[in-house]
Chain A
């Protein structure tokens, strides 16, 4: 199926959940509502976009956009080399999406990363726990309202002292 035909077909079938279709540097971007992401991506996968090249998120705190959070899916069609970007918008008060782990196994860790750093939860994910920050970490540090230098977690460690040889080395070094 020709690329433009596919885009038309998708926009017709999901007409009430497609927010916009734009193009940036030769790549088509499909802006959709968060709740229908699984259905849209399932259709795109069956139409040849077999490969999830990347899954990431954006916090649009002061950047506009349809909602506060965007989850971005980069799809690749290995058959003809076509690429497609799907952007799913989700609101601030309920950052929640259906998981696409059932379509692509690789989404498992990438959704965990988005959850860890942005606090976006994924329904149907098999193991939604932190992947980068320590397990007892509080907060989601890639949100734009999280302070860059953190909330004191980098100072929160016990101090290991020298247990012998202190007298000499303290005075000399």
Chain B
């Protein structure tokens, strides 16, 4: 076998797994913190829990620059159109974590003004239970999301109207 063209080490993979590997290890979260969960989310970013170990420390407060929406806190009827607009402004591929009891189900706030679960109106990939969740819970949710991203197919990302 002629090896004259090979100058250094290399490995083989598929485009799909390489893309998924890079996507799952550099999630850029857009924090949507409306309540105490938002404070707990800050603790996940800090030194003790350190979400940077999973490559998701690049918090972007612009939906245009992020691919992971973390909804942390209760969403009211006045905030829901804002949340939907922010979700639609995020470029594909994008994922959503519903953090805590309020975002997932309304929590104890069963009143006229609080949305009883954001998944009624926007897509959600991961639900993190707790009131608020411990930092370990959020990291567990992030790792579960990474496992989801690992299994994604590029063919699913073709535009629905392209063929």
From B24-32, B33-41, B49-57, B76-84, the one touching the partner chain is B76-84
Give bound CA distance, A110 to B152, whole Å: 52
From A31-39, A40-48, A60-68, A159-167, the one touching the partner chain is A159-167
User: Can you identify 30 A-B contacts, CB atoms within 8 angstroms?
Assistant: A132-B78, A133-B78, A148-B110, A149-B111, A153-B77, A153-B112, A154-B77, A154-B114, A155-B120, A157-B77, A157-B80, A157-B84, A157-B121, A158-B84, A158-B121, A160-B87, A160-B88, A160-B123, A164-B92, A164-B156, A164-B157, A164-B158, A164-B159, A165-B92, A165-B156, A168-B153, A168-B156, A169-B125, A169-B156, A172-B148
Q: Does B42 make an interface contact (CB < 8 A)?
A: no
**For window 65-112 of chain B, which residues contact chain A by CB distance below 8 Å?**
77-78, 80-81, 84, 87-88, 92-93, 110-112
Q: B120 to A173, Cβ gap below 8 A?
A: no
B81: A residues at CB distance < 8 A? 157
The majority secondary structure among interface residues of chain B is loop
A19 shortest CB reach to chain B, Å:
33
Q: Count the A residues whose beta carbon is within 8 Å of the partner chain — how many?
A: 29
Q: B156 to A154, Cβ gap below 8 A?
A: no
Q: A162 to B113, Cβ gap below 8 A?
A: no
Give bound CA distance, A132 to B77, whole Å: 11
Q: Count the B residues whose beta carbon is within 8 Å of the partner chain — how many?
A: 31
Q: Does A78 make an interface contact (CB < 8 A)?
A: no
Name A's B-contacting residues (CB within 8 A).
132-134, 137, 141, 146-151, 153-155, 157-169, 172-173
A150: B residues at CB distance < 8 A? 111-113
